Amino acid sequence: MNQAPVFAVVGHPNKGKSSIVATLSQNDAIAIALEPGTTRRSHAYPLQVDGQVLYTLVDTPGFQRPRRVLEWLEAHSVSASDRAATVAAFATQHRGNLQFSDECELLAPLIDGAGIIYVVDGSVPYSPQHEAEMTILRWTGRPSLALINSIGDEDYGDTWQAALGQFFQIVRKFDAVRAPFEQHLSLLRAFGQLEPAWEKPLETATGFLDRQRQQRKQQAATLMAQTLQQMMGYRHSRSLAENLAASASSHNKGALASELRKSWYQHQRQREHQLRGDIQQLYQHRQLQRQEAELEWQSEHDLFSEDSSQLWGVNKGYLAGVGFGAGAVGGVGIDALTFGASFGTGALIGGIIGAAGSYFYGDRLPLPTLKIGPLRDGVKTASFGPVPDTQFGYVVLGRALSHWWHVSDRNHAGRAPLALGTPDSHWLDSLSKQHRNTLHRALEKARKGKAADLSDQHKLGQVITHAMKAYNEWQLKNM
Partner 1 sequence: MVKQSAARPSMTKTPIIKQPLRLLMDFDAQIQRDGHQTSDFIHRRDRKFALHCEEHNSPSDPAHWLAWLGRFDNGSEQLAGTGQSTEQRWQRINSGFIALGAVLGIITMAGLLFYDGGQRINVTVIIGFVALQLLLALLTSLQSVMGWQPWRPLLNRFMPASDPALQPLQPALMARATQGGGLSFAVAALLTLLAMVVTQDLAFGWSTTLNTAASGYHQLTSALATPWTWLWPSAVPDPALVEATRFFRAGTNTALTPARWGQWWPFVSMLWLMWVVLPRLLLRLLASALVRLRTRKLLLCHPGLRALRERMATSVLDTGAGHNDADDLPDTRHNTLLQPLPEKAQLLSWAGAGSVTEEQTLPAALAAICPGQALNVGGLASLSQDQQAIAQLAVSSDAVTAIMLVRSWEPPTGELLDFLDSARHNWPANSRVFLLPLAAETRNPSNTAKDRQLQPWLRFAERCPPGFVTVGDITVNTGLPQS
Query: By the criterion CB under 8 A, which residues form the site for partner 1?
Result: 12-14, 24-31, 33-38, 43-51, 56-57, 62-68, 71, 99, 102, 121, 124-125, 127-129, 131, 152, 154, 208-209, 211-212, 215, 219, 222, 226, 281-282, 284, 287, 412, 451-455, 457-458
CB of 71 to partner 1, least distance (A): 6
Cα 453 to Cα 339, 385, 448, 449, distances in angstroms: 35, 19, 11, 8
CB of 39 to partner 1, least distance (A): 9
Nearer to partner 1, 22 or 428 (CB): 22
Contact partners, residue 58, CB within 8 Å, separation at least 6? 6, 7, 8, 9, 21, 42, 43, 44, 45, 109, 114
Nearer to partner 1, 71 or 300 (CB): 71
CB of 79 to partner 1, least distance (A): 22
Cα 372 to Cα 246, 266, 267, distances in angstroms: 11, 21, 20
Nearer to partner 1, 134 or 295 (CB): 134
Is residue 282 within 8 A of residue 216, CB to CB? The reply is yes
Nearer to partner 1, 66 or 313 (CB): 66
Nearer to partner 1, 262 or 458 (CB): 458
CB of 208 to partner 1, least distance (A): 5
CB of 142 to partner 1, least distance (A): 21
| Count of alpha carbons within 13 angstroms of residue 57, beta-carbon side | 25
Is residue 148 within 8 A of residue 45, CB to CB? The reply is no
Nearer to partner 1, 126 or 312 (CB): 126
No. of H helices and E strands in the chain? Answer: 18, 9
CB of 357 to partner 1, least distance (A): 39
Tell me the Cα Rg of the chain: 29
CB of 10 to partner 1, least distance (A): 14
Nearer to partner 1, 65 or 441 (CB): 65
Which residue from 209, 141, 203, 233 is spatially nearest to 443, judged by alpha carbons?
233
Spell out where 95-151 has E strands: 115-121, 144-149
CB of 135 to partner 1, least distance (A): 11
Nearer to partner 1, 28 or 292 (CB): 28
CB of 475 to partner 1, least distance (A): 24
Query: Is the four-CA dihedral 303, 306, 312, 313 of positive or negative sign?
Result: positive
Helices within 167-249 (DSSP H only): 181-192, 196-232, 242-246
CB of 284 to partner 1, least distance (A): 5
CB of 37 to partner 1, least distance (A): 6
Nearer to partner 1, 4 or 356 (CB): 4
3-class DSSP assignment, residue 63: coil
Q: Which amino acid is at 90?
A: F
Nearer to partner 1, 128 or 196 (CB): 128
3-class DSSP assignment, residue 438: helix
Instruction: Please give the order of strands across the beta sheet that includes 379-384.
Output: 236-241, 379-384, 370-372
* CB atoms near residue 117 (< 10 Å): 29
3-state helix, strand, coil in the chain (%, to 5): 55, 10, 35
For 256, the enclosing helix (H) or strand (E) is helix 250-282
Nearer to partner 1, 72 or 304 (CB): 72
